[in-house]
Amino acid sequence: MAIALGLVKVSKRFGAQPILEDLTFGLQMGEKVGLIGRNGAGKSTLFKLLAGEDSPDSGEVVLTQGLRVAHLSQDPHFAPDATVRSALESALADHRELIRRHAAIHEALQRPAADQDRLHAELDAVEHHLQHMGWDLEPRLKEAQTTWGLQDLEAAVESLSGGWRKRVALAQAWLKDPDVLVMDEPTNHLDPEQVEKLELWLQQFAGSLLLITHDRHLLDGVVDRMLELEDGGVTSYDGSYSDYLLERADKEFREARLTVHMQNRLRRELAWLRRGARARTRKSKLRINDVLELKDDVHERSQQEERLSLSFAGGANRSDSLLGAERLAFSYPGGPELAGGLDLYLRRGQRIAILGPNGCGKSTLLKLLLGEMEPTGGVIRRHPRLTVSAISQGRGEMRGDLSIADNIAERASMVKVGGQDLLVLVYLTRFGFPADQQKRLAETLSGGERNRLLMAKAMLQPADLLVLDEPTNDLDIPTLQNLEEALMDYPGTLLLVSHDRFFLDQVSTHTLAWNPAGAPRWEMYEGNPSAVRRLRAEREQAAVAAAREAPRTKAATRSEPKKKAGLSQKEERRLAELEAAMDGLHTRIRDLEAGLGDPAAFITADGPGHQALRDRDAARAELEELELEWLALEEKRAPQPGAQSPSRFSA
């Protein structure tokens, strides 16, 4: 099969650091290939070489003559004064040139000395393309506008958000109708609906595709070959991303067995050396050299197989009920309602994906639940001892004016990990920050490095509730896989916002999905985001069936006495008793802990400090039991409209 685009023995260095070394690969006609690799492996460098934005130090970029090529960069650039319309029209420049050339060929054919055969052959090629694309450009522009949801063609592109700018760039690539399409992270900033449109287009695309992305769901649905960029070269795997995972896992298993074999051999050879072996003969000298080389090989393989260690610790709260929102409402001044009377209860162990388009209020909902913003209606109740760890989309938890190390432990040399003290320097190396770089200011870090730093920081804070807003941005696939495993092992409750559908499907147990026509605006489903469409259809069918059944049961239920909502008088009295008892226990625990600060209380085995410690632990256990009972009664009590949250649960 013919090669559409490729690299031949290409090398590229930045300073002394080699990025690509003697790299050769080809994209065949009609082939769809996915390219993955760790951050810093050279994916963006390779894209720039293919796009002509950079040139190799050696080797060459090969493109079959006559093919139309479209490039979509990770961060698209437009003319400073470009409108959406002018940006789209610029993508049709080649099309306009073909229309002009069509007229020129007809004019040339009228001349007696014209090369009739050559001109007729060129005319056939031009007309074939124009018949496919159409002669009138305006319908094509309107189709692009509809396909990619570009509502205002006169809007200035520079004024648009990242998601809308990416839509304009996608529409440009779509309008070019290319033979070869090269895309670098096309799903960045896109909401789920637009990602589905992109996936459908790429599935139907008849040309050659090179897709550089961390979106594993997109790779699985589109490509038929995978390339992994590593150590300046590429390894090819036939099939989809899932096929790549299976083949890669088999390869890693074989590599691990070989490493174990080499480690065992190295132990035997080192034992031989320790017994006093001397390099007296040529054979002994060779064996000693072999041992030293083997030691280097084992060390290198062990370094390669070492994985980023991620683990989120759960909090000390043993309650199953952590947070409750009732009839929650919120809107910005002059804006639409974003919650619509939401009832939401967070239980321990739930991993909830928050799913919705850009602008629907996902980040706002998180801020409401965390108490960073006040609702305009309804109440939010939080467990008195709820502990929270969060990474926001804006990464505001990181201080750019501090070094990497000081962001973890300001002016401290040790951190506590799993109950053990560990040097900050050692801890950060686990997250890919070499010791000689840990004094760098955090503001100089790349997006992926900032994300890793914030995860390292979050993992030092045991929490009952972990809130992650777009945690997958700028992370490479190996780090994403490690993050998935860490979140699935996390014992607390997780609230998760991400555009990475594969990631959400792997991690989440429940989905809180946006429904713009619903009241409330959000609907909870038991299952991951991929199951939501089916579950929503089943729920709608059940609602229709219930509506048909309602007239039949209305008469039967009319005579039944209505049960009074809320608490009974006995339960109201019990609630008051619990609050008084809990206040007393809080006071007792504070008094006992004040006495525990005196070292003299622990000098002797029968000192008063030991008994105070036992009394404090018993009071805590009793308080925990009372809190569980009290929280159950609070959830049962139906608040009056406009009622304020009790002070015990105030944000």
256, β-bridge pairs: none
Lowest mean pLDDT of 167-176, 211-220, 262-271, 555-564, name the range.
555-564
Lowest mean pLDDT among 24-28, 146-150, 293-297, 584-588: 293-297
C-alpha 208/C-alpha 28 separation (Å) is 7
Decide: 308 and 456 in contact? Cβ < 8 Å: no
Q: Residue 23: which H helix or E strand, with range? A: strand 17-28
Angle (nearest 5°) at CA 6 between 5 and 11: 150
- Of 3.30.70.20, 3.40.50.300, 3.40.50.1820, 1.10.10.60, which CATH number belongs to 321-387+462-540? 3.40.50.300
- 1-67+179-239 and 321-387+462-540 agree in CATH topology: yes
Confidence category of residue 328, pLDDT binned at 50, 70, 90: very high
Residue 29: pLDDT band with limits 50, 70, 90: very high
Report the b/e string of 590-610 with b at 16+ CB within 10 A: eebeeeeeeeebeeeeeeebe
Segment 136-161 mean pLDDT: 86
Q: Contact at 8 Å (CB) between 202 and 32? A: yes
User: Counting runs of H as helices and runs of E as strands, what totals does the chain give?
Assistant: 19, 20
For residue 350, the Cα-to-chain-centroid distance in whole angstroms is 18
Q: What is the mean pLDDT of the chain?
A: 82
- pLDDT at res. 28: 93
Coil, strand, or helix at residue 357? Answer: coil
Q: What mean pLDDT is predicted for residues 202-211? A: 94
Average pLDDT over residues 20-34: 93
**What integer pLDDT is reported at residue 642 of this predicted model?**
41
277 or 374, greater pLDDT: 374
pLDDT of residue 284: 60
Q: Which of 45-59, 71-85, 383-397 is the least confident region?
A: 383-397
Residue 306 CB burial class (10 angstroms; 0-12, 13-18, ≥19):
exposed
Give the pLDDT score at 646.
Answer: 45
Q: What is the pLDDT averaged over residues 233-257?
A: 83
480, pLDDT greater than 50: yes
Of the candidates 504, 508, 514, the residue with the CA atom closest to the CA atom of residue 472: 504
Tokens of 487: 């979140």
pTM: 0.66
Instruction: Give residue 614's pLDDT band: very low, low, confident or very high (50, 70, 90).
Output: confident
- Is 147 a residue whose pLDDT tops 70? yes
> Could you tell me if 202 and 212 are in contact, meaning their C-beta atoms sit under 8 angstroms apart?
no
Q: Which of 63, 66, 71 is nearest to 7 (CA)?
A: 63
pLDDT higher than threshold 90 for residue 465: yes
Confidence of residue 651 (pLDDT cuts 50, 70, 90): very low
Quick one: pLDDT band at residue 346, thresholds 50, 70, 90? very high
Backbone CA torsion sign across 590, 594, 595, 596: positive
DSSP string, 520-583: SSEEEEES-GGGHHHHHHHHHHHHHHHHHHHHHHHHHHHTSPPPPPS--HHHHHHHHHHHHHHH
How buried is residue 23: exposed, middle or buried, by Cβ count under 10 Å (0-12/13-18/19+)? Answer: buried
Distance CA 222, CA 186 (A): 13
Which carries the bigger pLDDT value, residue 514 or residue 551?
514
Q: Which CATH superfamily is domain 1-67+179-239 in?
A: P-loop containing nucleotide triphosphate hydrolases (3.40.50.300)
Q: Is the pLDDT of residue 288 over 70?
A: no
Domain boundaries, the chain: 1-67+179-239, 83-160, 245-305, 321-387+462-540, 569-649
Query: Do the beta carbons of residue 385 and residue 317 sit within 8 Å?
Result: yes
What is the average pLDDT across 237-241? 91
Q: Is there a contact between 345 and 324 (Cβ–Cβ < 8 Å)?
A: yes
